[in-house]
Structures are given as C-alpha cells and as structure tokens.
Structure 1
C-alpha cells in the first residue's frame, strides 16, 4: 500500500517507519532538516527491540500525499487547519485519512475542512526525534481506531507491521481517556522539565494530578461522554511503564517550540467555561505553560 504521513515528527516517523519496514511504500512529509536526512540516509528507526535504517521517500510539501491510499495526519493540533488546506488538492478520492493526533476534536476539524470522512486514532506511544531523520522509540505503540468500512484493512495493515491495534465502538471515549492522561502529565512535565517517573515522586504531585483528572471526568460527564476504564489507574501505569519519558509538551518547550497545550488543558478550560464546569487545576496548569511559551518566544525574538 502507498502511505503518506502528513507531519513527520516523532509519532509520524515511528508509525511511518514501521509501515515502511513492513514493505509498504511510505512518503514522509516533514521539515527540511528531517527530509534531507531521510532522503540521504533513510529513516533511522531506533526502537527498544532493534535499530535499523529504513528507506522511505520524503517531501517538504503536501503534494507528497498525492496518490496515497492511506494518509496518516500526525501534525500538531495547532497545525490541523493548515495541514487540511494544504492536503486537500492532492488527496486521492479513495484515500483513507486517519488522524493520529493529540486532542479530541482533530478528526472532526479535518473532516469539516476536507469535506470527507476522517477516522480518529488514539495513539499510545513514547517517541522523540533524537536528531534529523532519527526517531527514538521509548515504549508502547498501540492504536485504538473506530469501526468503519476500512477498519478491517487497517487492523491487518498495522498488525502485520508490528503495530498493535484495537477497534473500539467508543473511540470518542478512548480519545477522552487519552486527553485525561495528557492533562495529568503534559503540563507538569513541561513546567518541571522532569520525566514521568521522577515527576510523580514529588510531594503532592499525585494530588494535583488526581484533581486535574477529576475535572476532566466531570467535564466528560457534562459532555455526555462515557470514558472507558479506570482513568486514575491508567495515569499511574504511565509513570510505571514509561518512567524516563518526557511529555511532548515538555519536549516542545525545551526546544522553544509552541506546544499543543491549547488543545489539552486549554481545551478543558474552554469547554468547562462553556458548560459551567469548574476546572481550576487545569486552568493553573494551562496558564503556567502559556507563560513559559511566551518567555521562550521572547528569548528567541531578534532584538
């Protein structure tokens, strides 16, 4: 199958690399520094089980999705609208579009802008870009997708590439479960620049996380969303299974980049205001990350 990855960052490069390794024709659409490295040397797929250079095609422009049978949208939530507008003229009519993004509404946003069905995938993977064209995998890698005419083919595609995938009738609830994990960890890891294992060992940190989780659950109830499983147990497992992982928000701040906080704790804050649900802990976490983003932007602005 010909597959395009729109947004070849850590998540996109991991899943694109695994699919390319399984023999699929993969095109990565990303930043010039990564595209140049991948074009020259292939993608260095550095996982917990193997390290391998995988030959893939790469492009800096959205025309790279042309002719793809499957498009994985992996851009930051802040770039969803721009990505949709850029991809739209190049998408094949029969292409399957799947959103592998943080947040709960990106598939809906893409669908509205593209005027076609877009599937949502919940992503559980710990990865980072360790250098140009070098993706480092720290753990996990499973996906949760919703039922569709294409879900059977997608399960076979991902499974044969070594990517565990589950089809859920409540993919919206699964997206909210992932949002809750992100709201518990991302801002705190970013503010402290600590990995999950060290973070949860801090005094009263788990109490803050519990409060953030409960606010999200209160909001989900107000939205009429059923969140599956035990959210607090899932939060605890993250620190146990990925103790050395920094959140994507922490990685963004460390590199002076704009984070997705508006679509995580910021989303909870906005929806809470709209529905009359109090979200004070998420408000504090959001405001602190925004201040750090502003400070980083000021420090990189030319005088």
Structure 2
C-alpha cells in the first residue's frame, strides 16, 4: 500500500513513523523548510526511554507526481485549504483520504473537493508534541486511529487499511458510526480546550481553585447537548472519561490549543469552537460558556494576526 502522510508534525509524523518503522511504503508531504530539517536530522521520535531515528521518504508539493492508496491528512485546520491543493495530484480513483483533524468542517471541505467516496472519517488519539528541535516527543504510548466509511459500511478498503495500521502497532478500530465517534472527540476536545484556555491554566490549576470543579461539567453539558441535538448523543461512559480528564486535582494536562494560545501562536478557534457554536445556534442549543471561550480565542486570534501583519 502506497501511503502519503500530509504533514510530519506531532500527530501525522508519529503515525507515519510507526508505519515506516513497520516497513510500509510511506512518503511525507511537507513544506520545504520541514523537508530540509528532516533530511538533516531524520524523523526522530523521542521520549519514554527510547528514540527512533528514521530516514523518511519526503516530497514537497511541487514534486508530487503520483497517486497513493492511502492519504493520512494531518495538518492544522488553518492550513487545510493549502493542503488540499497540495495533495490533489496524489488523489486517484482508488485513493482513500483519512483526515486526522478534530471537529467537522474539514469533512465538509474534503467532500466538496474530492467527493465523499474518497473521504473517510477519522479520529486520532495520541499524546505527542513537537519539541524545539522538531522531534516528535512521545508522552504516552497511546496510538489510536479510529476510522471508517462515512456511510458506516465496512468496505474492503477499510479492512485493508485496518490491517496495515494494526500491523504497525496502531490501535485501529472501525466504529459502527465514525461520524458519531468524530462528534464525541469534538465534545471532548472543546471541553478540554475551553477549561484550560478560558482560565489560562492547567487542568489541575483550574480544578483546585475555588469554584473550579464546576467548570468542566458545565462546559461538557453544553458541548454534549449540541452533539445530542445533532443526532450523536454522548453515552455516559464517554462523559465519565471526559470528566476524568478535566476534573483532576493537580493534573498538569493541557491540550495543544492551550500551548498555542500561551505561546502566542494562532489557534484553531473557528474550526473547533466557531463551527460548534454556529451549529448550536442552528439547533437551538444555548452555549454561553462555549460562546465565551470562542470570543476569548477570537480576541487572541485577532491579536496574533495584527502582530503578524504589523496592523
């Protein structure tokens, strides 16, 4: 199976490294600067008392001239439009695109560009980050990629992809409804992101402050109400798992959105929060806390944009 991984960051780079280490035919589509860094240092996965150094197959957009069987799309939502243009030459009649983004707006964009038959749903769960040297730092052994056809069928290509992923040590379940799984991840990531970004603190710092324990459940109630109104109710075990993450005394956990926020980088506010609150209004679901988190992140986004343009 010819595999193209679009992006070689903390998520795509990690899954791609696992596949390459297992001997799969993997190529990374990256920007020229990232390609130069990877050629110099190799693709490194570090942490948890081990280090892998791979010499990855690399291609930049101007060099892409063949189609692939599987495309793992792992970019920030802010780079989605450019990524779709870059990867277009890789998409043939039999290509399966598995996006690893959170939220739902990317699925609409990919369906419009490549057709729903080419696009699968995907839910990625890893605990990795990209360090200052561009290495992928693994903070936990989790490597989970749930995926499936948008219509819920278990096709021959899904079975083939699952075998390849599992052969590389990736947990690759095929849920009965991958769109529901995507909604549930969306509920989790917005709850987690809103708790930490609104309060500008780690989960533990928020939870241990007076009044802090009430915030996580309140945000979860709002996000879950939107998912339920959209036809994807969050089961009690999923709610409990989310609450266990956002209601933990002393926990140092923060999502990547929080790291982007506190580092002065752009965030995925519109893709994750703007889209969710817009859908909430369409569905008639009040989301005052999520609206507040959205506004907070939008102010940050405008500040970052102004600093970048000098306006």
Structures share a fold, TM > 0.5?
Answer: yes
3-state DSSP of counterpart to 2:300: helix
Asked if residue 145 in structure 1 is aligned to residue 153 in structure 2, the reply is no
Which of 175, 183, 194 is the equivalent residue of 2:182? 175
Q: For 2:102, what is the secondary structure of its paired residue?
A: coil
Kindly indicate whether residue 194 of structure 2 is the aligned counterpart of residue 187 of structure 1.
yes
Q: Work out whether 1:134 is the aligned partner of 2:135.
A: yes
- Quote the residue 2:305 is aligned against: 297
Distance in 2, Cα, partners of 1:253 & 1:230: 30
Q: Secondary structure at the match of 1:262?
A: helix
- Cα displacement (A) at 1:158: 1.3
Number of paired residues?
302
- Is the 2:44–2:136 Cα contact (8 Å) retained in structure 1? yes
**1:239-250 alignment runs, 5 A limit:** 243-250=251-258
List gaps (5 residues or longer) in structure 2: 149-153
CA contact (8 A) 2:217 2:243 kept: no
Which residue is equivalent to 2:270? 262
Q: Which residue of 2 aligns with 1:272?
A: 280
Shift in alpha-carbon separation, 1:61–1:118, aligned structure 2, 3 A: same
CA deviation string 1:98-126 (max 9, x = no partner) = 11111134234212211242111111112
Equivalent residue number for residue 41 of structure 1: 41
Deviates more, 1:70-79 or 1:219-228: 219-228
Post-superposition CA distance 1:183-225 (Å, at most 9, x none): 1111333345534444433333332221221112221222122
- Could you give the per-residue CA deviations for residues 84-110 of structure 1, whole angstroms, max 9, x where no partner exists? 233223323222211111113423421
Which deviates more, 218-227 or 166-175? 218-227
**1:177-256 equivalence runs, <5 A:** 177-238=184-245, 243-256=251-264
Unpaired stretches in structure 1, ≥5 consecutive residues: none
Find the aligned partners of 1:234 and 1:138 in 2 and give their Cα distance.
Answer: 19
What pairs up with 1:51-200 in 2 under 5 angstroms? 51-61=51-61, 63-64=63-64, 66-115=66-115, 116-139=117-140, 140-146=142-148, 147-200=154-207
Mark the CA change 1:62 to 1:20 in structure 2 (over 3 Å): closer, same or farther.
farther
How far, CA to CA, are the matches of 2:276 and 2:189 in structure 1? 11
CA distance in structure 2 between the aligned counterparts of 1:256 and 1:36, rounded to whole angstroms: 25
2:151 corresponds in structure 1 to: none
* TM-score, reference length from structure 2: 0.87
**Pairwise CA distance, 1:39:** 1.6
* 8 A contact 1:38–1:57 mirrored in 2: no
Aligned counterpart, 1:27:
27
> Given the superposition, is the C-alpha separation of residues 38 and 192 from structure 1 closer, same or farther in structure 2, using an over 3 Å criterion?
farther
Task: State the superposition RMSD in angstroms.
Answer: 2.4
Compared CA separation, residues 62 and 276, structure 1 to 2 (3 A): farther
